[in-house]
Amino acid sequence: MAYSKETMKRFTNPKFVGEMKDADAVGQEGNVKCGDIMKIFLKIDEKTEKIKDIRFQTYGCVAAIAASDAMCEIAKGKTLTQALKIKFSDIVKELKDLPHVKVHCSVLGTSTLKKAIDNCPVAEQVAIR
């Protein structure tokens, strides 16, 4: 299975990996079929409703870790409403393609981000849910 250079770069040197102790929201999802588990941490600017910081912890394959990092890159700086509109295809595009059998990793990224936003008190205040 061949991965793009961008996918391998994000796998070997992810920018957004790590736990966030003072997160405003946390979301976790897993894929039962492949065993990948993703956890997303968000720090939100309450005034602008923008994602100030985002981190991930992912247990999974090359594609899962790279997709987590790419999703964080895309989401950082966006409002919660904008972040909810991120599609798995945006993550695939950011990675410069993924093997078809690994696209589910990008879907896991979007669903985990949505779970984190669902758990965000700021989202509740602005009626994003």
pLDDT tens for each residue of 17-54: 999 999 999 999 997 777 889 999 999 998 999 999 99
Look at residue 129 and tell me whether its pLDDT is greater than 80: no
Does residue 11 have a pLDDT over 50? yes
The helix/strand/coil state of 104 is helix
Burial of 35: CB neighbours in 10 Å, binned 0-12, 13-18, 19+? exposed
The pLDDT value recorded for residue 87 is 95
Does the pTM of the predicted model rise above 0.75? yes
H runs (alpha helix) in 58-103: 62-75, 80-84, 88-94
In whole angstroms, what separates CA 99 from the centre of its chain? 19
Contact 95, 66 (CB under 8 A): yes
Which residues are part of the catalytic machinery? 34, 105
**What confidence category does residue 66 fall into, taking pLDDT thresholds of 50, 70 and 90?**
very high
- C-alpha separations of 39 from 5, 11, 71, 105 in Å: 24, 16, 12, 13
Q: What is the pLDDT of residue 104?
A: 84
Token match 């879907």: residue? 107
Can you give the pLDDT at residue 124? 60
CA atoms 127, 27, 65, 55: torsion sign: positive
Q: At what angle do helices 62-75 and 104-118 cross, to 10 degrees?
A: 50
Residue 55 has pLDDT above 70, yes or no: yes
Q: What is the mean pLDDT of the chain?
A: 91
Torsion angle of C-alpha atoms 104, 80, 72, 52, degrees rounded to 10: -170
